[in-house]
């Protein structure tokens, strides 16, 4: 796992994430059409601030995402608060699982925290030991990037107050 604080150095791009309305636009949990996954193919066709950030990620030589030989990038933004928990799960191809019962996981998971407002709770928790009682906790912090193995069970701990807005990215 990699955790990088103050990740996004492009201040113009960073300023575009200040408005919470941006986060609602691509909020997967608020989207009533769950059949439509938002995919970004690295074809230099940038249509949103989220895709600008993904393009920034793909060009980052430190992360070297091209070494994962991915074929597509899936992304979604979420705006989590006390009324919107996120329980233990593994990232997987939900459509494939439902249609043929096959479980396929992405190659890599990335979370970028763009907006954190008066948050109490809401930690990213990653279980590395198959629920043996220990897990890693990462506090959401604005402009923090977390790169992790999405096969590991993970969740967002209980949010007592405040909100956290993040961009989730999976490489397939």
What pLDDT is attached to residue 84? 75
Cα 130 from chain centroid (whole Å)? 22
Which residue ranges form the domains of the chain, and what is each CATH number?
2-171 (2.60.120.620)
Cα first-last separation, the chain: 18
Chain-wide mean pLDDT for the chain? 87
**Nearest Cα to Cα of residue 125 among 29, 1, 6:** 1
Cα 17 from chain centroid (whole Å)? 15
What pLDDT is attached to residue 24? 65
What pLDDT is attached to residue 26? 56
Q: What percent of the chain has pLDDT over 70?
A: 87
Hey, is 113 helix, strand or coil?
A: strand
Q: Are 151 and 54 in contact (CB under 8 A)?
A: no
What pLDDT is attached to residue 129? 83
What pLDDT is attached to residue 33? 36
Torsion angle, CA of 122/27/76/146, rounded to 10 degrees?
Answer: -20
What pLDDT is attached to residue 35? 39
Q: For residue 102, is pLDDT > 90?
A: yes
The sign of the torsion formed by the CA atoms of 134, 145, 82, 151 equals negative
pLDDT in tens, 42-98: 667 788 888 899 999 999 999 999 999 999 899 888 888 888 778 999 999 888 899
């Amino acid at each position: 796992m990699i955790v990088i604080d103050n990740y996004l150095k492009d201040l113009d791009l960073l300023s575009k994430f200040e408005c919470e309305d941006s986060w609602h636009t691509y909020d997967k949990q608020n989207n009533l059409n769950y059949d439509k996954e938002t995919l970004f193919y690295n074809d230099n066709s940038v249509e949103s601030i989220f895709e600008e950030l993904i393009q920034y990620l793909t060009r980052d030589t430190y992360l070297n995402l091209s070494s994962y030989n991915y074929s597509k990038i899936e992304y979604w933004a979420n705006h989590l608060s006390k009324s919107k928990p996120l329980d233990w799960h593994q990232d997987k191809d939900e459509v494939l699982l439902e249609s043929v019962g096959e479980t396929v996981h992405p190659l890599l998971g990335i979370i970028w925290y763009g907006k954190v407002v008066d948050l109490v709770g809401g930690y990213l928790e990653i279980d590395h030991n198959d629920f043996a009682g220990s897990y890693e906790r990462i506090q959401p912090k604005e402009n923090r990037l977390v790169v992790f193995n999405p096969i590991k069970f993970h969740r967002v701990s209980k949010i007592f107050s405040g909100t956290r807005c993040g961009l989730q990215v999976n490489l397939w």
